[in-house]
A and B are shown apart, each in its own frame.
Chain A
Amino acid sequence: MSSLTPLTAAELEEWLDEELDAALSLRRTTRAPALALASLTRAKQNFACHWISVIAKTNPELAFHFASQVTNALQQMPTDDTEAWIIQAMDVYDKMGLYPAVAILTDIATFAKASENKSRSVALEEVGPVLELFLQALSGRKLKLRPNERTYTDTTTVYLPATLITLPSREENVRLYKIMAAHLWAQTWFGTFQGTDPQRLVRHCQKFPDPKYAQTLFHALETIRLDACLARELPGLYRELRTLQTASQKSSRWASYVARLETRDATVDDTYEALDALYGEPLPEPHIYQGALNGEAVAVAMGERLDQERAALQAALKQLLADKGPKAPPEGKKRFSVQTEQERAMVLMLDGQPLVPPPDVRALMHSIAQDLGEIPEEYLVAAGDGAYAPEADKKPEDVWKGTYHEDGAYLYNEWDHRRQHYRKDWCVLRELDVQPVHEPFVADTLHKYHGLAARLRKTFEALRGENAVQRRQKHGDEIDFDALVEAFADLHCGHELSDRLFTRNRRFARNIAVMFMVDMSGSTKGWINDAERESLVLLCEALEILGDRYAIYGFSGITRKRCEMYRVKQFDEPYNETVRARITGIKPQDYTRMGVAIRHLCRLLNDVEARTKLLITLSDGKPDDYDGYRGEYGIEDTRQALLEAKRDGIHAFCITIDTDARDYLPHMYGAANYALIDDVRKLPLKISDIYRHLTS
């Protein structure tokens, strides 16, 4: 496709038939899309064809819909925007599947309008991180932010529109986001849903002939109360909020209730009272920032949370008691109590003595008090033996046994070289512990390599940062008497007196943090696994001499939903019996998805303070996973992950025993950053040598 003349409909149809074969049927042919595409310029045709084949590799069905829409899109939008439209559809496909993605492809008009309004539109993605911090700082339970068509909160998550173009300028829309978020936060903080009955709002509204109207009226009244709360607590925000309020005519019956709701000690009970009195009044015009009220969602979220937190608090109290030692409780007496002080500060008391609970327990107490207004007495009973322990169902290794969920896992992007974009939150990664195996493997290895181990010790000892005395310094700890005598001699001869008369002790401290990433894929079974484990034993012995900080993680997994990192040794863990048993316990698992493993370990390395950071990979081959993560795709993603590492100042190095590695490793790691070992048995010998070279 190099010439400049546009392709004909027939040529296009033939090409499309080949590309989209899987999505075609008797009734569904490529005639119409080909005809449409034929009307485009050659450059645009190339653009469309490129993306058709890229999308076809992901999903032929999606590609067919795309092929049918792309001409239309290119006529309505410039190429840049069309590309943004494609990427959005692909992201939606990755996250939610085919149908929502097709909906985006079909609805070009909305996207075109949004991109036209680009100068004033704001996406939640842009302001989300700042807003999340903002909400967290405002105090109270940590709220999550999620894009949604309806603006509301279920007291756990704040749902906001994915984009805002309501107001004429970008700044105003950013501000609107902030005010919307703050207003929803106000619902959770100023007690809109406070009370022991999470269903209260729903039940109360059902008493009326028109429950939906009742809830809307309640929301309008509650908004008056919350606005007044905000005016007192956050006057700066309130000033901005005032400019967005819509004035509406209210009958004279409202006045006394509004005045009541605006007083300092008004509670949600006053709002309910006003609702009962004003039921039947016309609804005032809603303010653009107030969103909606979703009593049903709140009831579900709160109901679940109350149960969970009650169990969690009781379990935590039990733990606190256990930590205090086995003192028999005084018969029939409540041991725990809570004293509430000013400004919502609470003190947990045990047998009348104040107790300092750990931060997570304190957060739990605050969360409960935020829901209920106080901590009820029945919550303050330590759990009995055999009580339901909430953490028990959150063990990462059990997650795959039951229904699959992404709670507590790390999400990582993955680079798709065909799209030249990241697939967002594509990989789900969990950290697991290697099951320690208590066998004499470490002792055997040290015995087997005792000659090598001794040599290694010697070379590494020589590397260790030694105290060096620097002579003839301008400043220092001691006087350099040799220099001094010389200087006096000089002085007597009429020369100038040198000022370099001191010695200084300098310790050349090694400031290195090393992360070892060990391939635990199925292909390492046998020799390679043994060699890896032996190498780790020798390395650990050597590194203990050097005093470098190091961590060891194994990686494996199967598909993007199940990437696993196995903790062998963390940075702050000493090299002890458990670590040795874990090294012994390293077993071959599944596949080799390298990109996500590199991203995760870099994240850990970034939290460590060190002048030099190293990521050393021990591997036996190419990146490879069950769901298409192989060949160019895997290599390009790994390369991208390594580029990210470099950007963070982490030096990556790969040691491999794959003899074909010369074909792809230079592309991934760069020419000088890998080492090939042709014989597995040499790995333990070589690796310490390599490490020494790398770090000295």
Chain B
Amino acid sequence: MKARAVEPEGFLITKEPYYESQGDEIILFESAYRNQIPVLLKGPTGCGKTRFMEHMAWRLKRPLITVSCHDDLTASDLVGRYLITAGETVWVDGPLAHAVRVGGICYLDEVVEARKDTTVVIHPLADDRRVLPIEKTGEVLSATPEFALAISYNPGYQSVLKDLKQSTRQRFIALEFDYPPHDLEKRIVDHESGIGEESAEKLVRFADMTRNLKGSGLEEGASTRLLVHAAKLMASGVSPQAACRGAIAQALTDDPEMLAAITELSASLF
């Protein structure tokens, strides 16, 4: 629970995070923010959802509080709980309550991973009431106009268990993210790693190839994030094939045949 140690200013992003706009998502987010409507980010892993949030927090100059949801995350992990200090019980805010209090942007990453009861907690915050009732203290936190709620989820994992309920999703403005178009992705990889345009171009082509394999044994193709990883390795002197194997192929799959095919692809390309 590191969050307690950091003051709201600590979440403030002072340096502009690098972000290349893919469409009108920045304008959409800004107007959603002004109109106090929560935002849902959809898209495959590693396509820039979290980076987008950082960028928006920097633009709007609000602290960003990110919660990575996992399957053991409960409502009290978000809202807060009593702790005992020096023979007394003390209430401690969870990240969501904290964000409401300081008027920050609360970003629940991969929200479908959390337990079902957590999504219900955000309901009163996500409609026009904009309140967070804290049962245990009897308090009702009312959000200031600066507070914003954003959640993300990956519709690619088609599991019955991991789907967002209609009652939840219909409270949000949805922004769809995908891997950036060819040229843009090339620019991003180059900018993030500094490997030069030619190698970035090849890496993006490599990513396109792995994305062609989606559904034939790969759950997902290589994400932009993986490309940046590989590019960084290459920029620090690792050979392209070793970088592709370590940063991309092995990260994508454990299946030996698939690994062999991906390794052949990188060997053909570089």
Q: Which of A96-150 contact B (CB under 8 A)?
A: 129-131, 133-134, 136-139
Give A137's nearest chain B residue, CB to CB. B209
B258: A residues at CB distance < 8 A: 133
A229 at the interface (CB under 8 A from B): no
Q: Is A129 in contact with B257, judged by CB distance below 8 angstroms? A: yes
CA distance A131 to B264 in the complex (A): 9
A501: B residues at CB distance < 8 A: 84
Q: Which of A443-502 contact B (CB under 8 A)?
A: 477-479, 484, 488, 501
B181 at the interface (CB under 8 A from A): yes
CA distance A572 to B161 in the complex (A): 10
With A236-B267, A236-B270, A345-B182 as known contacts, state yes or no: A133 contacts B81, CB within 8 Å: no
CB B149 to nearest CB in A, in angstroms, measures 22
Q: Is B87 in contact with A138, judged by CB distance below 8 angstroms? A: no
Q: Which of B214-244 contact A (CB under 8 A)?
A: 216-217, 241
Q: Is B267 in contact with A139, judged by CB distance below 8 angstroms? A: no
Give B77's nearest chain A residue, CB to CB. A477
A639 at the interface (CB under 8 A from B): no
Q: Is A139 in contact with B182, judged by CB distance below 8 angstroms? A: no
Q: Is A137 in contact with B261, judged by CB distance below 8 angstroms? A: yes
A343 at the interface (CB under 8 A from B): yes
Give B215's nearest chain A residue, CB to CB. A359
B257: A residues at CB distance < 8 A: 129-130, 133
B183 at the interface (CB under 8 A from A): yes
CA distance A546 to B213 in the complex (A): 37
Q: Is B84 in contact with A133, judged by CB distance below 8 angstroms? A: no
CA distance A345 to B265 in the complex (A): 21
B216: A residues at CB distance < 8 A: 133, 136
Q: Is A505 in contact with B159, judged by CB distance below 8 angstroms? A: no
Q: Is A479 in contact with B260, judged by CB distance below 8 angstroms? A: no
CA distance A345 to B185 in the complex (A): 15
A479: B residues at CB distance < 8 A: 82, 84, 89
A609 at the interface (CB under 8 A from B): yes
Most buried by B among A129, A133, A182: A133
Most buried by A among B241, B262, B266: B262
Q: How large is the interface on A (under 10, 10 to 19, 20 to 34, 35 or more residues)?
A: 20 to 34
A235 at the interface (CB under 8 A from B): yes
Q: Is A342 in contact with B183, judged by CB distance below 8 angstroms? A: yes
A569 at the interface (CB under 8 A from B): no
Q: Is A234 in contact with B269, judged by CB distance below 8 angstroms? A: yes
CB B115 to nearest CB in A, in angstroms, measures 8
CA distance A479 to B89 in the complex (A): 9
Q: Interface digits, A396-420 against B, CB 8 Å rule (1 contact, 0 not)?
A: 0000000000000000000000000
Give A344's nearest chain B residue, CB to CB. B182
B160 at the interface (CB under 8 A from A): yes
A364 at the interface (CB under 8 A from B): no
A430 at the interface (CB under 8 A from B): no
CA distance A478 to B84 in the complex (A): 11
The one of B87, B208, B213 in contact with A133, judged by C-beta atoms closer than 8 angstroms, is: B213
A131: B residues at CB distance < 8 A: 261
A137: B residues at CB distance < 8 A: 209-210, 212-213, 261-262, 265
With A136-B212, A136-B216, A137-B209 as known contacts, state yes or no: A343 contacts B267, CB within 8 Å: no
With A136-B213, A342-B183 as known contacts, state yes or no: A182 contacts B76, CB within 8 Å: no
Q: Is B160 in contact with A572, judged by CB distance below 8 angstroms? A: yes
Give B264's nearest chain A residue, CB to CB. A134
Q: Is A182 in contact with B82, judged by CB distance below 8 angstroms? A: no
CA distance A644 to B87 in the complex (A): 60
The tally of residues in B whose CB lies under 8 Å from a CB in A reads 33
Q: Is B82 in contact with A478, judged by CB distance below 8 angstroms? A: yes
Q: Is A133 in contact with B261, judged by CB distance below 8 angstroms? A: yes
B265: A residues at CB distance < 8 A: 134, 137-138
Q: Interface digits, B59-73 against A, CB 8 Å rule (1 contact, 0 not)?
A: 000000000000000
B74 at the interface (CB under 8 A from A): yes
Q: Which of A340-378 contact B (CB under 8 A)?
A: 342-343, 345
Q: Is B267 in contact with A345, judged by CB distance below 8 angstroms? A: no
Q: Is A130 in contact with B260, judged by CB distance below 8 angstroms? A: yes
Q: Interface digits, B88-118 against A, CB 8 Å rule (1 contact, 0 not)?
A: 0100000000000000000000000000000
CA distance A67 to B89 in the complex (A): 90
A136: B residues at CB distance < 8 A: 212-213, 216
Give B158's nearest chain A residue, CB to CB. A572
CA distance A134 to B209 in the complex (A): 9
A178 at the interface (CB under 8 A from B): yes
B35 at the interface (CB under 8 A from A): no
Give A549's nearest chain B residue, CB to CB. B160
CA distance A140 to B166 in the complex (A): 37
With A234-B269, A478-B82 as known contacts, state yes or no: A343 contacts B261, CB within 8 Å: no
A87: B residues at CB distance < 8 A: none
Q: Is A182 in contact with B81, judged by CB distance below 8 angstroms? A: no
B137: A residues at CB distance < 8 A: none
The one of B81, B87, B262, B269 in contact with A235, judged by C-beta atoms closer than 8 angstroms, is: B269
A237 at the interface (CB under 8 A from B): yes
CB B124 to nearest CB in A, in angstroms, measures 20
CA distance A236 to B183 in the complex (A): 22
B268 at the interface (CB under 8 A from A): yes
CB A311 to nearest CB in B, in angstroms, measures 24
CA distance A484 to B257 in the complex (A): 56
Q: Is B270 in contact with A235, judged by CB distance below 8 angstroms? A: yes
Q: Interface digits, A252-291 against B, CB 8 Å rule (1 contact, 0 not)?
A: 0000000000000000000000000000000000000000
Q: Is A139 in contact with B208, judged by CB distance below 8 angstroms? A: yes
Most buried by A among B87, B161, B241, B264: B264
B84: A residues at CB distance < 8 A: 479, 484, 501
CA distance A85 to B213 in the complex (A): 36
CB A560 to nearest CB in B, in angstroms, measures 27
A130: B residues at CB distance < 8 A: 257, 260-261, 264
Q: Is B74 in contact with A505, judged by CB distance below 8 angstroms? A: yes
CA distance A479 to B90 in the complex (A): 11
CA distance A479 to B159 in the complex (A): 35
Give A491's nearest chain B residue, CB to CB. B87
CA distance A342 to B185 in the complex (A): 14
Q: Which of A664-685 contact B (CB under 8 A)?
A: none
A342: B residues at CB distance < 8 A: 182-183
The one of A134, A484, A549 in contact with B261, judged by C-beta atoms closer than 8 angstroms, is: A134
CB B22 to nearest CB in A, in angstroms, measures 14
The one of B76, B89, B213, B264 in contact with A178, judged by C-beta atoms closer than 8 angstroms, is: B264
The one of B160, B213, B217, B267 in contact with A237, judged by C-beta atoms closer than 8 angstroms, is: B267
B183: A residues at CB distance < 8 A: 342
Give B261's nearest chain A residue, CB to CB. A133
Give B82's nearest chain A residue, CB to CB. A479
CB B34 to nearest CB in A, in angstroms, measures 27
Q: Is A236 in contact with B268, judged by CB distance below 8 angstroms? A: yes
The one of A129, A236, A549 in contact with B269, judged by C-beta atoms closer than 8 angstroms, is: A236
The one of A133, A134, A343, A549 in contact with B182, judged by C-beta atoms closer than 8 angstroms, is: A343
CA distance A129 to B265 in the complex (A): 14
Q: Is A182 in contact with B217, judged by CB distance below 8 angstroms? A: no
B212: A residues at CB distance < 8 A: 136-139
CA distance A345 to B178 in the complex (A): 15
A134: B residues at CB distance < 8 A: 261, 264-265
Give me 11 other A-B pairs in contact (C-beta within 8 A), A137-B213, A137-B262, A182-B268 excluded: A131-B261, A134-B261, A136-B212, A137-B212, A138-B212, A139-B209, A236-B241, A345-B182, A479-B82, A501-B84, A609-B161
The chain B residues found within 8 Å of chain A, CB to CB, are 74, 76, 81-82, 84, 87, 89, 159-161, 181-183, 208-210, 212-213, 216-217, 241, 257-258, 260-262, 264-270
Residue pairs across A and B with Cβ atoms less than 8 A apart, 23 shown, are: A129-B257, A130-B257, A131-B261, A133-B213, A133-B216, A133-B261, A137-B213, A138-B265, A139-B208, A234-B268, A234-B269, A235-B269, A235-B270, A237-B267, A342-B182, A345-B182, A477-B76, A479-B82, A484-B84, A488-B87, A549-B160, A609-B159, A609-B161
- Lowest 5 A-B CB distances belong to which pairs? A133-B261, A237-B268, A137-B209, A234-B268, A130-B260
The chain A residues found within 8 Å of chain B, CB to CB, are 129-131, 133-134, 136-139, 178, 182, 234-237, 342-343, 345, 477-479, 484, 488, 501, 505, 549, 571-572, 609
